[in-house]
Amino acid sequence: MSSVIVNNIIKTYSAEKKSVVNALNKISFEVDKGELFGVIGPDGAGKTSLFRIMTTLLIADSGTASVEGFDTVKDYKEIRKQIGYMPGKFSLYQDLSVEENLEFFATIFNTSIKENYDLIKDIYGQIEPFKKRRAGKLSGGMKQKLALCCALIHRPTVLFLDEPTTGVDAVSRKEFWEMLKQLKKQGITILVSTPYMDEASLCDRVALLQNGSVLSIDTPEKITKQFAKQLIAVKTENMYELLQSLRECTEVENVYPFGEYHHVVLKSNRTINEVQQYVSAHGFKDAELKPATANIEDCFIELMRNQ
């Protein structure tokens, strides 16, 4: 049974000079109950528009979407009772205290903090010492925890998190994903969008989104397995010149910076030795070459190239 079904959603925005921006172009996917589903894509891919359509805030130009069997246009009232939504921008009252915010959202969902305390206990416990503090005065990580608490306070069946980890430090990000794993255990379906490719591997399944189109939907493992080409990592002193040089190499299909290495995608039937020779011949004698396994980011770049 699917918890969220998105079917052929199209959304366009009119931009200046009568031109039209295709924010979402025939998006379709399904999310199973209790799944942790990631929507991965760079800024401007259409993640927020997609989330707003699923959370009934925005109406698609065409196509349908349903959450827990309810249509996002017709039965939006039912959906609003059932879902939890955390917008990308911190959207709680900054001039109310932590406790007041939580209490407020509990009340408008006709429940109380006490009733669902067990669900948020682990998360709220971390910010409870500051419950008298105004939300605007919290650190980024704490704001995000409070927002999650507020989205959870009515025990939603589906949780929508729009870029929850953007602008949050590495430690808080890790903590946040731990929290999501705990929530998944409670049987809550979670949809999370993120521009960070490294977070994809933490999801059960991911949809790779680019320019309003889905590039691929699968488990992170399967997506990385689909990467059929040979990948090597290269490192040397002068990385920029190395990049320039490799772009002209005939054995190489694609090369891009990847952390402290450059990732080089080889054309079929080429070997690492051929690249080694090319690199040495072009004056990068101390270059370090090693085979690499593709991760989601490599797959994403490959899929983008093929599009």
Partner 1 sequence: MRTLKFLLQKEFRQIFRDPAIVRMILMMPIIQLILLPLAANYEVKNVKLAIVDHDHSSYTQQMINKITASGYFQLTGVSNSYNEEMKLVEKDEADIILEIPAQFERTIVKENKAPLFMAVNAINGTRANLGSAYLQNIIRNYNQDIRMQWIQKPRFNDQPRIEITYSNWYNPHMNYQLFMVPGILAVLLTMVGAFMTSLNIVKEKEVGTIEQINVTPIRKHHFILGKLIPFWILGLVVLTLGFGVARIVYGIIPLGSFVTIYAFAMVYLLAVLGLGLLVSTYANTQQQAMLISFFLMMIFILLGGLYTSIDSMPEWAKTITKFNPVAYFIEVIRMVVIKGSTLKDISKQLLIMFGFAIVLNGWAIFNYKKRM
Query: Binding residues for partner 1, per CB under 8 A?
Result: 52, 55-59, 77, 80-81, 83, 85, 87, 89-96, 100, 103-105, 107-110, 150
CB atoms within 10 A of CB 78: 15
| Residue 33 beta carbon to partner 1: minimum distance, rounded to whole angstroms | 20
Amino acid letter, 21 = V
Nearer to partner 1, 83 or 208 (CB): 83
Nearer to partner 1, 50 or 92 (CB): 92
Phi, psi of 236 (to 5 degrees): -155, -175
Q: What DSSP string runs through 125-172?
A: HHHGGGTTSBGGGS-HHHHHHHHHHHHHTT--SEEEEESTTTT--HHH
Show the tokens assigned to 282.
Answer: 């072009």
Nearer to partner 1, 85 or 284 (CB): 85
| Residue 121 beta carbon to partner 1: minimum distance, rounded to whole angstroms | 22
Which residues are CB-neighbours of 175 under 8 A, at least 6 positions away? Answer: 141
The Cα 265–Cα 243 span in angstroms is 12
| Residue 183 beta carbon to partner 1: minimum distance, rounded to whole angstroms | 18
Nearer to partner 1, 86 or 203 (CB): 86
Phi, psi of 263 (to 5 degrees): -95, 135
Nearer to partner 1, 109 or 261 (CB): 109
| Residue 267 beta carbon to partner 1: minimum distance, rounded to whole angstroms | 46
| Residue 55 beta carbon to partner 1: minimum distance, rounded to whole angstroms | 5
Beta bridge partners of 39: 193, 207
Contact 303, 208 (CB under 8 A): yes
Nearer to partner 1, 40 or 158 (CB): 158
